[in-house]
Amino acid sequence: MSLELLKPVSENLIDELDENYSQGSLFNKIKFHREQSGIPDINSSNLCIIGISETRNSYFESEIHDLSIFRKQLYKLKQGRWKISISDLGDLPNGNTVEDTYHALYDICKELFSKKITLVIIGGSNDIIYPIFKSFDSYSEKINIVSIDNQFDLYQDSDIISGRTYMNKIILDDSNKLNDFTNIGYQRHLCSYEEIELMEKLFFEKISLGEISENNMRAEPIIRDADIVGFDMKSLSIFGDCNPNGIDSRLACILSKYVGQSNKTSFFGLFDLNNNEVSNKLYSEIIWYFIDSLNNRINESNFDDSQLFFKYIVQTSGRDIIFYKSKISERWWMTVTSASNDKIKFLPCLESDYKDALNDNLPGRWLKASKRI
């Protein structure tokens, strides 16, 4: 079992946290993988945290990240009135080869997913998303991936899975498990014309840095429908001296909040970390907002229940689109019907999509989704 490969959290670090962090801190909420007691009982956990240092296929120059700095910053934050159970399972050491690391992570993700445990991964590079994706191989549904990144990572010039090619490898994977890929935060001057053309050809969605900065709500329904969310820390505006433009700290926490709210998201990763104290403070806050929203998740799926949802039927361009609005969260969905098998998908959307339909304009998300299914 690959969980046994995980290295426990340092006893020195736990002792330091225990001595310095007061009651009410997140530290007192965590069940740790320790040298003496071993891995905690994950069957009672809602959320597990794992550190990773695998960056050999990063493509970008990477440094070894000291995850103890991140843990110090995260666990000194105050916990909310959270009912969820959280376990820190320690760190996954690098295998002899990158493929060994991929295989171990694949097994870990598969086991946690089978137990319906959400996993947060801290560290490593973007290519780590590939084995996470592969861990869904026995899952009956197709997978949605959201990448918060300033680039698309669709390079096709290498046979190696790397931080710049992993999405192309997922698209071409024999399993044909990918339903949708969305990029949030791309910067046009960092993306090739060929990559943009491919995104359009495959009817994938994308939101530029300017668009998401102007209206962060555009990301919410997309993230709500994601199984896997990867957040590249190189896309942040604080990333060293190499990124003059990027996602600011406030927006990063808002996006993380959306990830936590999503009932569908099983894996959330922060990749390509910057190894300094200010960055680790931000990473810890990003995860705090994720945990806070995860604790308050609302399971909204019984769309036929009129006690829970308003239902609106709108005829647009000769098509009937059914919209649902939750009476609890006030979130919106719209139906998309497959032309091949008449299967109905409930696609998360915004109220603005409903208003577009009222004005006889097919919502952009609906158009792309209808072409994919």
Block mean pLDDT (10 aa), the chain, length 373? 90 92 90 95 96 86 79 95 96 95 96 97 94 94 96 76 82 91 95 92 96 97 98 84 83 98 97 90 97 96 94 90 97 88 89 96 93 83
Residue 301 within any structural domain of the chain: no
Residue 302 within any structural domain of the chain: no
pLDDT of residue 52: 96
pLDDT of residue 311: 97
Residue 58 within any structural domain of the chain: yes
CA-wise closest residue to 26 among 49, 60, 56, 4: 49
Encoded amino acid at 164, one letter: R
CB 183 within 8 A of CB 144: no
How many folded domains does the chain comprise?
A: 2
pLDDT of residue 349: 98
Q: Are residues 257 and 326 in the same domain?
A: no
- Chosen domain end from 243, 268, 295: 295
CB 88 within 8 A of CB 30: yes
Q: Are residues 267 and 328 in the same domain?
A: no
Q: Are residues 328 and 291 in the same domain?
A: no
Q: Are residues 269 and 339 in the same domain?
A: no
Q: Are residues 247 and 358 in the same domain?
A: no
In this structure, what CATH number is given to the domain that contains residue 167?
3.40.800.10
pLDDT of residue 168: 87
pLDDT of residue 261: 97
pLDDT of residue 14: 94
Q: Are residues 336 and 220 in the same domain?
A: no
Q: Are residues 281 and 202 in the same domain?
A: yes
- Chosen domain end from 266, 295, 324: 295
- Chosen domain end from 250, 272, 295: 295
Q: Are residues 321 and 195 in the same domain?
A: no
Q: Are residues 290 and 316 in the same domain?
A: no
Q: Are residues 289 and 262 in the same domain?
A: yes
Q: Report the alpha-carbon distance of residue 28 to residue 137 in Å, rounded.
A: 36
Residue 304 within any structural domain of the chain: no
pLDDT of residue 241: 57
Q: Are residues 84 and 206 in the same domain?
A: yes
CB 161 within 8 A of CB 172: no
Order of strands across the sheet that contains 309-316:
309-316, 319-326, 332-337, 344-349
pTM summary value: 0.95
Where in the sequence is the domain holding 32, given as residue range(s)?
Answer: 2-295
Q: Report the alpha-carbon distance of residue 327 to residue 139 in Å, rounded.
A: 31
Residue 43 within any structural domain of the chain: yes
The token duo for 265 is: 């998201």
Find tokens 């020195």 and name the residue.
12
